[in-house]
Structure 1
Amino acid sequence: MTQTNDVSAMTFIDPHIHMTARTTYDYMVLREYGVVAIIEPSFWMGQPRTSAGSFKDYFSSLVGWERFRAAQFGIRHYCTISLNPKEANNPEIADEVMDLLPMFACKEGVVAIGEIGYDEMTPAEDKYFGLQLELAKEVDKPVLVHTPHRNKKEGTSRSMDVCTEYGVDPAKVIIDHANEETAKEVLDRGFWAAFSIYPKTKMGNQRMVELVRQYGCDRIIVDSAADWGLSDPLAVPKTAQLMAEMGIPAEHIRKVCYENALSAYGQSGEMKETDWTNPPAVDQRQLYDGNSVLRGQQPVTDSKELASLLIE
């Protein structure tokens, strides 16, 4: 008989979600489904940026506006800062961006240097991967590695080799967008293995269940990688529910959908459980630089009232 677990009382962390590309309503729904904290990695915006100034404004929004927007719905927002692998191939701007990174790497709420790594595995990507690993060591932050969508196995192995060559402790490196082809090597080499539940491409919910059944729950992290693409911001709680229905033990679900992300990124010193177990009160009357997320709607001043905002 299939064992079932109740995940309705669980809380979740989505340690890779690009909320800049999502709506405020997504924050509200995430909180309703038990997501208490998120991490937003620096990423490619869909088209090339034309100046280093656009990176500065983007990084500023990650440590400013997005933290405020999330807090309005009782969610703690953290981020990772980097020059994305895809953008490392723009030499006219990349060096200027590297000059910006130290300014943001030690800001409040920055839990890692990332996403860094490979897209096409070019010499430029090699260069900026190495430079950002050096920065991570300098500021003593974990590293979030983006593994390429093409040549996944080769790119993943090479990413881990580079981290080792630069003397970065595997226990401080999260290898994301892992799959069945790469999971064993990542775990065998002592790195964290993160899996992005992204429809039809990176990792599916059912496949994730089987991976946890095969490898257990140590150093495995589930995330959504939700962005401007066809993606699901509720991928973490939905995967947790499917795991429960498929008989995965509740303690394993909690580890891969909550505890492991906290352990990995908590090494930064910027993320701790009391951030959301003992949070500041929600008060949507507050403004950020004169702006509100409500756009004229009635503000909520009690966390218990948040669920009433959901549209039926």
Structure 2
Amino acid sequence: MRIFDPHLHASARTTDDYEDLHAAGVRAVLEPASWAGQPRTSAGSQVDYFEALLGWEPFRAAQYGIAHHCALGLNPREANEPGCAEVLDELPRFLGRDRVLAVGEVGYDAMTPAEDVAFARQVELAAAHRLPVLVHTPHRDKALGVRRSIDVVRESGIDPEWVVLDQLDEETAPLAADAGCWLGFTVYPEAKLSPARLVGLVAEYGPERVLVGSAADWGRTDPLLTRVAAGALLAAGHSPAEVEGVLWDNPVRCYGRSGRLRLEVAEVPDRHAGNSIRRG
């Protein structure tokens, strides 16, 4: 079974993780721009980070048979850093680059005025560049954050079919469904959703507009939980075709509209002696 993880912070993972992902059937990932635990403090550091998501990480992933893509944006956590706000002026020149499938993660963390400004502006950029938007929903006051996110989407005029409201739960999924957005679910070892809860949500809302990711950042996460989720869906009675529809066809359909999806992976190059990966 092929899996496309539409939300995986691959830069936080090791080469062993890439090997395990490939063995589990993962053949493509989308890495949204995020924060690094310690917030960046300047537009320059954001630009360097974007370049790494466009250059080094696809090169590294390809050596393990995985097609790496990214979403670029000023994430809500760092939207509150005055020095980072300038990256919004730099962002347009990146949004036309190869392998950029979306604008994201954008949205809310603490729902501050600075986050309002960054969110609205980046949705406008997404619409102008004909790119989907990957929206981070806050960990605190999630329902309020989802409602405010939907308001931003409506005010922008972007088609909600081009919007992914991510990290939803049982309380917020109906809000996203009613708004006509894609439903993004994140499967975690402890927080967010368990595979069993995901099965219940797919049963309630159907498999057609659902995206399932692992996030797999630098916290306690597991990049293989998309494969565990696939097993849970199969055990619940979904056919292999239905499960691959959720875990492969849906992200291809959602993010393929960017026109930049490249699922082929070049042959793994030889590695320099003594190194676990080939250097550029």
Relative to the length of structure 1, the TM-score reads: 0.86
TM superposition shift of 1:247: 1.8
Matched, 1:282 2:261: no
Matched-pair contact (CA < 8 Å) for 1:81–1:114: yes
Matched-pair contact (CA < 8 Å) for 1:114–1:144: yes
Q: How does 1:130-149 map to 2 (within 5 A)?
A: 130-149=120-139
TM superposition shift of 1:51: 2.1
Of the candidates 25, 33, 36, which is equivalent to residue 24 of structure 2?
A: 33
- The answer for the alignment partner of 2:143 in structure 1 is 153
Aligned CA-pair RMSD: 1.5
Look up the equivalent residue of 2:132 and give its one-letter code.
P
Structure 1 residue runs of 5 or longer lacking an equivalent are: 1-9, 286-291, 300-312
Of the candidates 236, 254, 266, which is equivalent to residue 256 of structure 2?
A: 266
Matched-pair contact (CA < 8 Å) for 2:41–2:83: no
- Could you say if the C-alpha distance between residues 74 and 26 of structure 1 is closer, same or farther in structure 2, counting changes exceeding 3 Å? same
- The answer for the alignment partner of 1:252 in structure 2 is 242
Q: How does 1:61-76 map to 2 (within 5 A)?
A: 61-76=52-67
Q: Secondary structure at the match of 1:36?
A: strand
Of the candidates 71, 79, 83, which is equivalent to residue 80 of structure 1?
A: 71
Matched-pair contact (CA < 8 Å) for 2:46–2:84: no
- Could you say if the C-alpha distance between residues 213 and 50 of structure 1 is closer, same or farther in structure 2, counting changes exceeding 3 Å? same
Q: Secondary structure at the match of 1:236?
A: helix
Matched, 1:296 2:268: no
Runs of 4+ in 1 over 6 A off after TM superposition: none
Q: For residues 113-139 of structure 1, what are the alpha-carbon distances to aligned partners after superposition, in whole Å with 9 as ceiling and x for unaligned?
A: 000010011111000101111111121
Q: For residues 157-193 of structure 1, what are the alpha-carbon distances to aligned partners after superposition, in whole Å with 9 as ceiling and x for unaligned?
A: 1101111110110110011001111112211221100
- The answer for the alignment partner of 2:225 in structure 1 is 235
TM superposition shift of 1:295: 4.4
Q: For residues 54-93 of structure 1, what are the alpha-carbon distances to aligned partners after superposition, in whole Å with 9 as ceiling and x for unaligned?
A: 1111111000000000100111000000000011111233
Matched, 1:190 2:176: no
- The answer for the alignment partner of 2:36 in structure 1 is 45
Q: Distance in 1 between matches of 2:245 and 2:180?
A: 17
Q: Secondary structure at the match of 2:94?
A: helix
Q: Distance in 2 between matches of 1:68 and 1:296?
A: 15
Look up the equivalent residue of 2:173 and give its one-letter code.
A
Look up the equivalent residue of 1:76 and give its one-letter code.
A
Q: Distance in 2 between matches of 1:226 and 1:233?
A: 5
- The answer for the alignment partner of 2:153 in structure 1 is 163
Of the candidates 2, 11, 17, which is equivalent to residue 8 of structure 2?
A: 17
Matched-pair contact (CA < 8 Å) for 1:213–1:248: no
Structure 2 residue runs of 5 or longer lacking an equivalent are: none
Could you say which structure has the larger radius of gyration? 1
Q: Distance in 2 between matches of 1:79 and 1:93?
A: 19
- The answer for the alignment partner of 1:114 in structure 2 is 104
Q: For residues 16-69 of structure 1, what are the alpha-carbon distances to aligned partners after superposition, in whole Å with 9 as ceiling and x for unaligned?
A: 000111111111110111001000000010012132211111111000000000
